[in-house]
Structure 1
Amino acid sequence: MTPTLAKEIEELLPTLRRFARSLTRDTARADDLVQDTVERALKRIDSFQEGSNLKAWMFTIMRNHFISECRRPRPVAGSEEIDSGQYEMPIPGAQQDTVELKEFLAAFSNLDGADQELLILAGLENVPYPEIADMLDVAVGTVKSRVARARMRLRDLHVGGSHLTTSPAYTSALRSYSGLPANQIGAA
């Protein structure tokens, strides 16, 4: 492995961590997923073609590993299921922002996993459509139409969807959901 490639992988870690958090919704699991992804990538680094897109390659490894992990049942001895409905994410700010944030998160959580993944990749991570198409092994036009349909479903699920992308609560929701600083969310 070249020093340049090692540096590129290191620079991708924050992006990989955000994507992992969006998939797992758990910081500890996300860190484990990033570690597993980097480990798998380093073991298979000889299969990476120099000059191709490292970010898309790493995202594909992460996504495939996450899907494999989700399919594998993992009973934990002595654990109890926690009712996730009893916990709410604390959000500082104005009352209206809190209401809009809850509406957005409720609408987003009602989307299926594929729609959530596409919106995170295209909207939050700003991954170009051709890269998403490569990751999913579909045509670029298919990705565009899937993203458009996912945005329409989100807009339909969101109460008063016309203010979805201009609301300060939308920015706050993305920031708290992804861990991004505010100055990197404006383009979302």
Structure 2
Amino acid sequence: MGDVLDEIADCVPALRRYARALTHDRESADDLVQDCLERAIRKKGLWRPIGPLRPWLFRILLNLHRNGLRQKRRAPPAVALDEIGTEPAVAAGQPGRVALAEMARAMERLPPDQREALLLVAVEGLAYAEAAAVLGIPIGTLMSRIGRARALLRQWTEDSGPKLRAVK
């Protein structure tokens, strides 16, 4: 029993990263991870030690996130006045940060199914088989979602400056 709890504790940083990428809000991500850990500990008897524990935890987290999205769709949105227009400014002298901010905005625009697949594989480093199991889809479907997501990101983030051609 202690081994399972230790393994769950080892997964917390990865769960926090994934939750933050899904929610785009630190507090919501922390709440999501806490709910995930509470459910995993409460239901640890349901985990079958056939494979790694990490994909099972990601599956719990993703299901909780999707349930939360469904509940939010049913409730009217509440926006605090002090939250309006709080997008952080990026200094022009930091091209790496500009590119990173541009990529983050592009990732937010991806359809949820593509974003979830890309985050699990590219950010969290899950194998295709593990990510497919987390999402409950075939590996081929996962690969096509990742391919479409990468194509959209390339399209959205490529330089919109003038195209230069070589003149002979």
**TM bucket by the smaller chain?**
0.7 to 0.9
Once superposed, which parts of structure 1, at least 4 consecutive aligned residues long, lie more than 6 Å away? none
Cα distance in 1 for partners of 2:16, 2:3 equals 21
The reply to whether residue 44 of structure 1 matches residue 23 of structure 2 is no
Cα distance in 2 for partners of 1:143, 1:13 equals 24
Contact 1:60 / 1:135 at 8 angstroms: preserved in 2?
yes
The reply to whether residue 19 of structure 1 matches residue 36 of structure 2 is no
Give unmatched runs, 5+ long, in structure 1. Answer: 162-188
The reply to whether residue 66 of structure 1 matches residue 60 of structure 2 is no
Q: Which amino acid aligns with 1:115?
A: Q
Shift of 1:158: 1.1
Contact 2:128 / 2:139 at 8 angstroms: preserved in 1?
yes
Contact 1:103 / 1:159 at 8 angstroms: preserved in 2?
no
Change in CA separation of 1:81 and 1:143 when aligned onto 2, cut-off 3 Å = same
Aligned residues: 158
Q: How does 1:139-178 map to 2 (within 5 A)?
A: 139-160=138-159
What whole-Å deviation, never above 9, does each CA across 1:76-121 have from its counterpart, x for those lacking one? Answer: 8xx5445867222354683433443343233222211222211211
Contact 2:118 / 2:149 at 8 angstroms: preserved in 1?
yes
Change in CA separation of 1:95 and 1:5 when aligned onto 2, cut-off 3 Å = closer
Give unmatched runs, 5+ long, in structure 2. Answer: 161-168
Cα distance in 2 for partners of 1:115, 1:40 equals 26
Q: What RMSD in Å do the two structures reach over aligned CA positions? A: 2.4
Cα distance in 2 for partners of 1:42, 1:55 equals 13
Calculate the TM-score normalised by the size of structure 2: 0.82
Give SS of 1:86's match.
coil
Contact 1:91 / 1:98 at 8 angstroms: preserved in 2?
yes
Cα distance in 1 for partners of 2:34, 2:101 equals 31
Contact 1:107 / 1:158 at 8 angstroms: preserved in 2?
yes
Aligned counterpart, 1:116 = 115
Aligned counterpart, 2:104 = 105
Calculate the TM-score normalised by the size of structure 1: 0.74
Shift of 1:144: 1.3
What whole-Å deviation, never above 9, does each CA across 1:155-179 have from its counterpart, x for those lacking one? Answer: 1111339xxxxxxxxxxxxxxxxxx
